[in-house]
Amino acid sequence: MQATAVFLEGPRDLHVDCLTLKTPTAGQIIVDIDWSGISTGTEKLFWTGQMPPFPGMGYPLVPGYEAAGTVVEARPESGFRTGETVFVPGANCFEGAFGLFGGAARRLVTDASRVCRIDAGMGPEGALLALAATARHALAGVHADLPELIVGHGVLGRLLARLTIAAGGQPTVWETDPTRRGGAKGYDVIAPEDDPRRDYRCIFDASGNASVMNDLIARLAKGGELVLAGFYAEDLRLAFAPAFMREARLRVAAEWTPSDLTAIRALLDADALSLSGLITHHAQASDAPRAYRQAFEDPACLKTILNWKDAA
């Protein structure tokens, strides 16, 4: 069995290829993907070659951990039925390719335990569940303080703001790029230099910019918390004295868990969270090389979705 997939052979060396799929085993299902998203965080680091070493990573690889499609083969014990619409957070199912991500393909073989049912009417927005679950995981930390300041108004920052409002909070959002300050609903997006506050009790950084850490600590109230919700290619450098004077707390938010995905589905079902307005660009899967470059290089591109329906 083969599938058309995005194939990243090395930094900036990306094309669409036909790859062999591993034979399904017990507990696995086969999904035909309709939509997959391009991550401007972790996937960009693979594309540029800046990704720090992680277990299971390497080239060549199939990128993508945001995918939605239709179950085309499932055994009864899997708990799924043919024709159901599901979200798939990537898959390790390709011969001759690392499987750390593996979602940007027309067909996937994946463990049934990794996918979840979604409403077929979600369309391309069904691929956004991973980012929504990531935002929820950052908010559901040990102290569970809602952010008063969110840094970055990309897709993750917008989801953090929407979830904060759904939980009764009222965040301020910083964005350095004027083209990304639009699209806010129920909160203000401002330039950092226009914000005089230096008493934030909780700041969430969704920028992935390691150089802002000391600036953000200087904005904390005494005992305040800085949550790193992005992904950082560079080492984080901490000026100790400002952090010492504020008795600052630092928390790193890791990847989402199944409970986060369950919580996001409940919020969507209750109309307490919307995923609308987050997708800015669409492309055919055959046009993936151009789409990936645009996603990583065009600041106006928040989220690009690849359409796999017409791929062979």
**Which residue type is seen at 176?**
T
pLDDT value at residue 312: 63
**Number of Cβ atoms within 10 Å of the Cβ of 38:** 26
Report d(CA 220, CA 293) in Å as an integer. Answer: 36
Does the 2-129+256-307 domain belong in CATH 3.90.180.10?
A: yes
pTM of the model: 0.93
**Which residue type is seen at 205?**
D
**Cα angle value 287/282/20 (rounded, 5°):** 45
Q: Cβ distance 233 to 117 under 8 Å?
A: no
* Pairing verdict, β 116-117 and 85-88: antiparallel
Burial of 99 from C-beta contacts in 10 A (0-12 / 13-18 / 19+): middle
Q: Cβ distance 95 to 19 under 8 Å?
A: yes
Report d(CA 163, CA 264) in Å as an integer. Answer: 9
3-54: pLDDT as tens digits = 999 999 999 999 999 999 999 998 999 999 999 999 988 899 999 988 887 7
Report d(CA 26, CA 137) in Å as an integer. Answer: 30
pLDDT value at residue 142: 67
162-221: pLDDT as tens digits = 999 999 999 999 999 999 999 999 999 999 999 999 999 999 999 999 999 999 999 999
DSSP labels for the chain?
A: -EEEEEEEEETTEEEEEEEEBPPP-TTEEEEEEEEEEE-SSHHHHHHHT-PPP-TT--SSB---S-EEEEEEEE-GGGT--TT-EEEE-----BTTSB-SS---BSEEEEEGGG-EE--GGGGGGGGGHHHHHHHHHHHTSSS-PPPSEEE--SHHHHHHHHHHHHTT---EEE-S-GGGS---SSSEEE-GGG-----EEEEEE-S--GGGHHHHHTTEEEEEEEEE-S--SSPP---HHHHHHHT-EEEE-----HHHHHHHHHHHHTTS---TT---EEEEGGGHHHHHHHHHH-TT-S-EEEE-TT--
70-116: pLDDT as tens digits = 999 998 889 999 999 999 999 999 999 987 799 999 999 999 999 99
The alpha carbons of the chain give a radius of gyration, in whole angstroms, of: 20
The terminus-to-terminus CA distance of the chain in angstroms comes to 12
**142-252 maps to which CATH number?**
3.40.50.720
Q: Is the pLDDT reported for residue 143 higher than 80?
A: no
Domain positions in the chain are 2-129+256-307, 142-252
In 3D, which of 192, 188, 194, 197 has the Cα closest to residue 209? Answer: 192
264-292: pLDDT as tens digits = 999 999 999 999 999 999 999 999 999 99
